[in-house]
Chain A
Amino acid sequence: NAGVTQTPKFRILKIGQSMTLQCTQDMNHNYMYWYRQDPGMGLKLIYYSVGAGITDKGEVPNGYNVSRSTTEDFPLRLELAAPSQTSVYFCASSYLAGQWDEQFFGPGTRLTVL
């Protein structure tokens, strides 16, 4: 299994541009998440999904959109990029089985908005 994969690894955007960060998992997990991590800080939840067709906001959703058309994919869309969105973005997935819900993280996408 490849686990959770993310593309691209790095990206530089100009202010006002848009882009989609891709996330795919091959573990058949029902839950998927997007986090952002600013320098020296912990991760903050942007959006999450509990299954195909179901998404919900996390702690910091403004400026982002998500969709979940399949179990495997959970893309994150940035519209009108702003410097405040410069961050490292991590996608994660988990399979809830009772109280066992370990989250598996991807390698991250480092985004700079200039």
Chain B
Amino acid sequence: DAKTTQPPSMDCAEGRAANLPCNHSTISGNEYVYWYRQIHSQGPQYIIHGLKNNETNEMASLIITEDRKSSTLILPHATLRDTAVYYCIVRVSGAGSYQLTFGKGTKLSVIP
């Protein structure tokens, strides 16, 4: 799986949009971009994933650049409960691909 690069930490004001960047310059054509988050001491939680089109769900939006070398996770209206470590993971999806390779992620602090 390709490696990812994320800033170690970010702050965001409560109610504002949180934009978390991720670089994955060596991504292959069949690799998806996944985002998980881990709220303090809890198990990781899936947020969203995409291949090349932008994706949106009830939690977040995922913007993938046209060359697929980077992406941004957007939390549209951050709340204090969004304070967590956010992991960007690039992986082949489907049968034969079982491992999620977690880096150190970005620690997002939402500030009142």
Residues of A within 8 A of B (CB): 4, 31, 33, 35, 37, 40-45, 48, 50, 58-59, 88, 90, 92, 96, 98-108
Q: Are A42 and B104 in contact (CB under 8 A)?
A: yes
* Cβ of A56 to closest chain B Cβ, rounded Å: 8
Q: Are A40 and B99 in contact (CB under 8 A)?
A: no
Q: How far is the CA of A98 from the CA of B49 in the complex (A)?
A: 14
Known: A107-B42, A108-B41. A99 touches B100 (CB 8 A): no
* Cβ of B89 to closest chain A Cβ, rounded Å: 9
Q: Are B99 and A108 in contact (CB under 8 A)?
A: no
* Cβ of A88 to closest chain B Cβ, rounded Å: 8
- Closest A residue to B51 by beta carbon equals A99
Known: A103-B46, A105-B45. A42 touches B98 (CB 8 A): no
Q: Are A48 and B43 in contact (CB under 8 A)?
A: no
Q: How far is the CA of A99 from the CA of B94 in the complex (A)?
A: 5
Classify the interface of chain B: helix, strand, loop or mixed. Answer: loop
B32, B46, B49, B105 pick with most chain A CB within 10 angstroms: B46
Known: A98-B94, A99-B93, A103-B46. A43 touches B100 (CB 8 A): yes
Q: How far is the CA of A101 from the CA of B51 in the complex (A)?
A: 14
Give 20 A-B pairs besides A103-B46, A103-B100 with Cβ atoms closer than 8 angstroms. Answer: A33-B98, A42-B102, A42-B104, A42-B105, A43-B100, A43-B102, A48-B98, A58-B98, A58-B99, A88-B41, A90-B44, A92-B43, A92-B44, A96-B94, A99-B32, A99-B94, A101-B97, A105-B45, A106-B43, A107-B42
